[in-house]
Amino acid sequence: QKEVEQDPGPLSVPEGAIVSLNCTYSNSAFQYFMWYRQYSRKGPELLMYTYSSGNKEDGRFTAQVDKSSKYISLFIRDSQPSDSATYLCAPTGGSYIPTFGRGTSLIVHP
C-alpha cells in the first residue's frame, strides 16, 4: 500500500462550485497535514496545513483531518478559475520531511 493515496483526476467543476479534494494515508505517525498547490510549470506552494485531527479554515479554503480513518480533505468554496491547479496533500511525521500524494488536477471553468 502506498503511503499517501490521492485521485489524480482531473476534477472539472463550474465556477462557484464547492470542491472537495481528498487523500488517504497509511502511516499513523503522521502529525502535520499539509496541502500544496502547484500551477503549471511552477513549483508547489504551501496552501495551508493542520496539526493532528480537526478543521482549519483560511478564507475560501478548509482543511480537515480525521486521524482515526486516516483521511484528509481540502474544501474550496466559491471556486474560481484561478483555483485551477494541481493540489498535493503532504502528511508529515516527526522527521518533518513531507510525503506527497500524486496530486489532484482541478479545473474550474467559467
Partner 1 sequence: ETGVTQTPRHLVMGMTNKKSLKCEQHLGHNAMYWYKQSAKKPLELMFVYSLEERVENNSVPSRFSPECPNSSHLFLHLHTLQPEDSALYLCASSAGTVTAEAFFGQGTRLTVV
Which stretch in 10-18, 40-48, 53-61, 74-82 sits in contact with partner 1 by CB under 8 A? 40-48
What residues form DSSP beta bridges with 107?
12
Question: How far is it, in rounded angstroms, from Cα 28 to Cα 8?
Answer: 23
Which stretch in 10-18, 34-42, 57-65, 69-77 sits in contact with partner 1 by CB under 8 A? 34-42
What residues form DSSP beta bridges with 10?
none
Site for partner 1 in 42-101 (CB under 8 A): 42-46, 49, 88, 90, 92, 96-101
Q: Is 4 in the site for partner 1 (CB under 8 A)?
A: yes
Backbone CA torsion sign across 20, 17, 58, 89: positive
Q: Is 34 in the site for partner 1 (CB under 8 A)?
A: yes
Q: Which residues contact 45 (CB under 8 A, 6 or more apart)?
A: 36, 37, 38
Which stretch in 31-39, 53-61, 63-71, 76-84 sits in contact with partner 1 by CB under 8 A? 31-39
Place of cell 482515526: 68
C-alpha cell at 33: 497535514
Per CB under 8 A, residues contacting partner 1 are 2, 4, 6, 8, 32, 34, 36, 41-46, 49, 88, 90, 92, 96-103
